Amino acid sequence: MKITCNRGLLQTAFQTAATVVPSRSPKPVLQNVKMEATSDRVTLIATDMEVGIRIDVPDQQAEIPGSALLSVAQFGSILREANDESLTIEADGQGILVRGERSRFKLPSGNPQEFPDVAEFSESNYFTIGGRLFKELIRRTLFATDAESSRYALGGILLEFDEDQVTAVATDGRRLAKMSGPLGSEGNPSSGDSMTIVPSRSMQLIERALMNTDADVHLATRGNDFMVRCPTATVTTRLVEGRFPRWRDVLPNRPEAILIDMTVGPLLSALRQAAIVTSGESRGIDFVFGEGALTLRGLTADIGESEIQVPIAYDGELISMCLDHRYVADFLKVLDGGRNFTLNIVDGDSAAFFETDDGYGYVVMPLARDRAARPKTQEAAAH
């Protein structure tokens, strides 16, 4: 194998592929990225046997077709530290030779035939979705997953496919994020009643691989695998086993609710100011609605207190609730500062529901005030 390629383009693709590579594995071959070079493309392949990726390096081709195993540690460092605009990579039975204009590296290499296969996307029945929308679905829900939960279903994003709509849902039991958007199809893909729960780590990889967000993305399930194809990459991942909570029961349906229109930027700024006096043990902030303002109050012993006001169009009876400022900030940070949203509230003991006009909804459960402000040692003693 012999190729001469643009170092920057190769580095970008290699870094994405390398996120799949396990730092430790009983199979040392998995700690490499496999390069396949043909007369019309160069493809990088990586897997940890749970998730795999095939990613094309744009506008590259082989002078001599072939394949090679590239060490993530050493080859990745060459790509990162080299100053050359282009690199020539040659592979034979003796190892890998990497040459720049003023540099030369010789690396040992294993047998590429021993690398596990990562399937290409060959499905004839699949869903289609705009790349920009799918990236946004992931970004607006991923933060609400719970990778540390013993309930494994909470460690992924649920995808529900209807005839012309997809809904992504994530929850950690204390908050829930969901977003819906239009969906197309090719052939006759099955939406079914089976749960498609994609691991959080796999969704992070998919979001990173979605570079050309204007193009359509193809989605398909094959047994217990989920496959995503975008113009430059294919990702295959095992699905999370288990049952996802009945998330629709969490979404509030409250005719008596108070609806308050707000803007992301001013609330996020005020929230960051109020959170200055919070800590890891004392994370609750009081949200007080009334008299034409939302007042945010923070109070932590030995740190201080804060009070920040944001004007709102609500002059009704005072409503006070205590919310984890990090959970509210997570919702605000995935939206543009100028975007408007509606806050749906009833009282201080009921969930707060944040909703935009483009299919995005977010539920946050209130904190009990004694637990929100109590130091962790006192909370543990109370049990």
In angstroms, the CA 292 to CA 110 distance is: 69
The one-digit pLDDT tens for each residue of the chain (383 residues) are: 999 999 999 999 999 999 999 988 889 999 999 999 998 899 999 999 999 999 999 888 899 999 999 999 999 999 999 999 999 999 987 899 999 998 999 999 999 999 999 999 999 999 999 999 999 999 999 999 997 766 778 999 999 998 899 999 999 999 999 999 999 999 999 765 568 999 999 999 999 998 867 899 999 998 899 999 999 999 999 999 889 999 999 999 999 999 999 999 999 999 999 999 998 777 899 999 999 999 999 998 889 999 999 999 999 999 999 999 999 999 999 999 999 999 999 999 999 999 999 999 999 999 986 544 433 333 333 33
In angstroms, the CA 20 to CA 210 distance is: 15
The CATH number given to 126-248 is: 3.10.150.10
Q: What is the pLDDT of residue 214?
A: 83
In angstroms, the CA 354 to CA 334 distance is: 13
Match 């190769």 to its residue by tokens.
10
In angstroms, the CA 71 to CA 109 distance is: 8
What are the boundaries of each domain within the chain?
2-114, 126-248, 251-382
Q: What is the pLDDT of residue 373?
A: 45
Q: Do domains 2-114 and 126-248 have the same CATH topology?
A: yes
Q: What is the pLDDT of residue 107?
A: 95
The DSSP code sequence of 95-152 is EEEEE-SS-EEEE----GGGSPP------SSEEEEEHHHHHHHHHTTGGG--TT-SSG
Q: Are 290 and 318 in contact (CB under 8 A)?
A: yes
Q: What is the pLDDT of residue 379?
A: 36
Residue 340, judged by CB atoms within 10 A of its CB (0-12, 13-18, 19+), counts as exposed
The CATH superfamily of 2-114 is DNA Polymerase III, subunit A, domain 2 (3.10.150.10)
Q: Tokens at residue 215, please? A: 């193009």
Rg for the chain, CA atoms, rounded: 25
251-382 CATH, one of 3.10.150.10, 1.10.287.370, 3.30.70.260, 3.40.50.1580: 3.10.150.10
